[in-house]
Amino acid sequence: MNTITQFDFSVLNFIQEHFRCDFLDVIMPFITSLGDVGFIWILTSVILLFFKKTRKLGIQLLISIFFAFVIYQCILKPIIARPRPFVQNPVVELLIKPPKDFSFPSGHTACGFSFVIILFLAKNKWWIPPLILATLIGFSRLYLYVHFPTDVLCGALCGIIFGAISYYFSSKLLKKCKM
């Protein structure tokens, strides 16, 4: 086993040994479900489209979420093809339905951090609550044993990078469209 995977399993096992409890066994599947297929981020972005004052931001958020999804889900995951932790250590009992795709990077985390960086770059004062939620969703993926810590960290990094890039290009595009 390589050093990164050993580190990843040591963190996951620490979480399993020190954080697992009945309360979190109920809360973490709910928190992770908010990030399923980008649900909370897409819903929030669509709601922003209904108000003239936030329409541009809603468009930028949707572009960012789509861009991040294409990069991590359609390109990175199939190329890297990293098996999930529960596949490599089937002893752990999952609290959610096992994901069928690859592990690296965490799409739940990438989508959330893409959303957060758009709000931050747009100087929207409401970027901190989504940051907290994106972080909780990332942690839930570790707690639920469906991602490695490096998947989540790289997912956050991918989200920030793809979000910043899409913010830059969508700002230029929307300026040309006079939005």
* Low-confidence spans in the chain with pLDDT less than 50: none
Q: Indicate whether this model's pTM tops 0.85.
A: yes
Q: Tell me 125's DSSP state.
A: T
Q: How far apart are CA 114 and CA 62, in angstroms?
A: 10
CB 95 within 8 A of CB 25: yes
What pLDDT score was predicted for residue 122? Answer: 94
Q: Please, which residues have CB within 8 angstroms of residue 94's CB and are 6 or more apart in sequence? A: 86, 144, 145, 146
Give the Cβ contact number of residue 31 at 10 Å.
Answer: 20
Distance between CA atoms of residues 55 and 78, nearest Å: 34
pLDDT reported for residue 117: 96
User: Under CATH, which number does the domain 21-176 receive?
Assistant: 1.10.606.20
Instruction: Report residue 29 as tokens.
Output: 């599947």
Nearest to 118 by CA among 153, 162, 158, 151: 162
Per-domain residue ranges of the chain: 21-176
Q: Write out pLDDT tens, residues 128-141.
A: 999 999 999 999 99
Q: Which residue has the tokens 């995951």?
A: 77
**What local confidence, expressed as pLDDT, does residue 173 receive?**
85
Cis? peptide before 149, omega within 30° of 0? no
